[in-house]
Structure 1
Amino acid sequence: MKKLILAGLMSACSFSAFAGVTVIVNTGNANAIDQDEIKKIYLGKSKSFADGVKVNPVNQNGNSIADEFNDKVVGKSSSQLNAYWSKLVFTGKGTPPEKLDNDQAVIDFVSSNADAIGYIDSSKVSDAVKVIATF
């Protein structure tokens, strides 16, 4: 019985390991955005889209999707990214992206704001937003 439970837990963990991260924008956003530009946005180094519209990025609040996004796209662990933003805030050189609680909150925010960019679990993508990248 213990082996069966262990096998079930391992299977559940492997499914979450295959979940991807999808970066989304408002459906009206026509900008082409690559991984490097997404990274710059989330590090506060780029403050607008290519068309000049100010970008409004949102993060997720400390969950596995946020960890995966930070690792795959930004290239930092969540703790490294928090330290990075703490330094910028302390020196007055930046404000971190707002944190939302879950995928649906990000979808709702991005679909309601033409200048928004966010990320969600790939399995949660809907027609309310436009996919620009999947990692």
Structure 2
Amino acid sequence: MLKKLLFTLACCLISLPLLAADLVVIAHPSVPDGLSQNQIRDIYLGRNQQLPNGQQATPIEMSDNSPLKASFHTQVTGRSLAQLNAFWSQQVFTGRGQPPRSVESPAAMRAAVAATPGALGYLPASEVDASVKVLLRP
């Protein structure tokens, strides 16, 4: 059991740099171009829920067990998963906000962003298709 866990952890750690170099922030086609990394960070941390065109921003996350989530937050929000979870626990406890909804796979992320006006998400660049647009390559 321990060997299997260590092997899985090693695979995740080995693949993390590959995912980090390949990660892109995507959006529904209705989201305006030119959002900065700071604006995207603020949307994902619940500091700003409105896009520059007045549209409601809807951030979508990968599940906690996805290395993409860790990579995205390290690069874009500057937080580890532990810091992010502590932040959202505090926000929920104080009634200041709720974490973004999450999906289980890159395909589900792409589909959710494509189907939700104002949505933002993140994927490996190889998973992007014409249903979404790339906003940022962190």
| TM-score in same-fold range (> 0.5) | yes
The answer for the alignment partner of 1:17 in structure 2 is 17
Larger Rg: 1
| TM-align CA RMSD | 1.8
Distance 2:60 2:30 in 1: 17
Residue segments in structure 2 that go unaligned for 5+ positions in a row: 1-9
Match of 1:122 among 122, 125, 133: 125
TM-score by length of 1: 0.86
The answer for the alignment partner of 2:56 in structure 1 is 54
The 5-angstrom pairing of residues 17-96 of structure 1 reads: 17-19=17-19, 20-62=22-64, 63-96=66-99
The answer for the alignment partner of 2:4 in structure 1 is none
Residue segments in structure 1 that go unaligned for 5+ positions in a row: 1-8
Q: Deviations over 1:46-74 (max 9, x none)?
A: 11100111101100002110000010101
Q: Does 1:108 align with 2:99?
A: no
Aligned pairs, number: 125
Distance 1:30 1:57 in 2: 14
